[in-house]
Structure 1
């Protein structure tokens, strides 16, 4: 069928109108609406691992037992989970041990310390005793493996030198020294008395030999049974 020349423009306009209806839908005029529709939701914040980690065991070395309990209480460690013992096997921990010093701990300083952890404090009466370790004993003699050192060897003392005998007075053996009484026939002691056999003699006459009043020759010598010296 032929279309009239007068109707041709009208047919073209109708075809264009139909083509426009089948195309893509026009975009919204408001750009903010499109932006809101395409924005992604923000992720929820998650707790970090550090916020849930347990505290660390403090370094209690050198502190007293009382101060250590207070430090653990501040970290929510109950007293029922704290065990206190003596560091050395041969030491008995007294009931009053608040002033004793912490030598070692379990757990060690820096280890995790949850509230359910059992803590052990090993004490000594003196800080210097913490460094003493004789297989776990404070006194090495209490260690079953202790071996006493050998006894030092002692040399016998040198014999004392023999006493030096005093030289006899001038006159020699059996010398006759006149005495104040004027008698003759016997010697006189250094202090002016007659030499009598068996009597004591002065220290000045030690070793001297002289004639006694009985005519015998005697020497002023030491008698171990009777002191001091006597003529014999």
Structure 2
């Protein structure tokens, strides 16, 4: 088909328009390259994680040693420790904890004072009736005689008393004359014979006293001399 020369410019313009609409030519690809480059160069935005808050620090076990049971329960209640988590016992094995023990004293605790006290921890209070009893323990017993290992002390050794010294016999005086001597079996203040008897007027005298003069029990002065009428040697 032959196109008139008058219509040729119009036809050329029509073809160029169609090519532009269909994306032909070098201009459209350059625009896409620029668009991709710009998209690549744009920085990507990364989501920042939210920090986890730290776990709360559990309270510490209060120092209850020396306090009464009632005051200790109140201190634990202030830390939200329920009574179901508290166990109260007697410190000593041989002591029975009474039903009413509010005035008894805390000797030891579990946990110890200053240790962490989480909400799941159970508390044990060991009590004694007297604060001084907290320092007494005989293998866990208050009275050492209740301890199975207790051994009674040996009784003190009783030393036998020394026997009384034997009486000292007084040797009769052999002094002549009226010397007075206390005889073991006679009266005080009178002379004795050589064999230890009081000098008695008229009685026989020992041979050892022959010729001896002494004071008799009747107060007279007598001599151990020979008496031929009765028997020899008589106090006379």
Bin for the TM-score computed over the shorter chain: 0.5 to 0.7
Aligned length: 179
- The equivalent of 2:72 in structure 1 is 68
Render the CA deviation track for 1:98-132: whole Å, top value 9, x for unaligned: 34322222344455534454322111233442233
- Aligned residue for 2:77, secondary structure, equals helix
- Hey, what's the Cα distance between the residues in 2 that align with 1:214 and 1:87? 93
State yes or no: 1:151 paired with 2:155: yes
Q: TM-score, normalised by structure 1?
A: 0.55
State yes or no: 1:85 paired with 2:89: yes
Paired residues of 1:103 and 1:123 also in contact (CA < 8 A): yes
Residue correspondence of structure 1 range 212-223 to structure 2 within 5 A? 212=200
Q: TM-score, normalised by structure 2?
A: 0.54
Q: For the pair shown, which has the larger CA radius of gyration, 1 or 2?
A: 2
- Hey, what's the Cα distance between the residues in 2 that align with 1:214 and 1:70? 108
- Hey, what's the Cα distance between the residues in 2 that align with 1:121 and 1:79? 12
- Aligned residue for 2:163, secondary structure, equals coil
Deviation at residue 77 of structure 1 after TM alignment: 1.0
- Aligned residue for 1:211, secondary structure, equals coil
- The equivalent of 2:34 in structure 1 is 24
Render the CA deviation track for 1:125-180: whole Å, top value 9, x for unaligned: 33442233223211111123322132233332222334556787xxx369875xxx
State yes or no: 1:43 paired with 2:49: yes
Unaligned runs of 5+ in 1: 1-10, 29-33, 178-186, 191-196, 220-232
Paired residues of 1:176 and 1:210 also in contact (CA < 8 A): no
- Aligned residue for 1:104, secondary structure, equals strand
Residue correspondence of structure 1 range 113-152 to structure 2 within 5 A? 113-152=117-156
- Aligned residue for 1:58, secondary structure, equals coil
Unaligned runs of 5+ in 2: 1-15, 17-23, 206-215, 218-236
Cα distance change, pair 167–110 in 1 and its aligned pair in 2 (3 A): same
Deviation at residue 87 of structure 1 after TM alignment: 0.9
- Hey, what's the Cα distance between the residues in 2 that align with 1:99 and 1:145? 31
State yes or no: 1:100 paired with 2:104: yes
Q: C-alpha root-mean-square deviation of aligned residues, in Å? A: 4.4
Deviation at residue 45 of structure 1 after TM alignment: 2.9
Deviation at residue 71 of structure 1 after TM alignment: 1.9
- Aligned residue for 1:156, secondary structure, equals coil
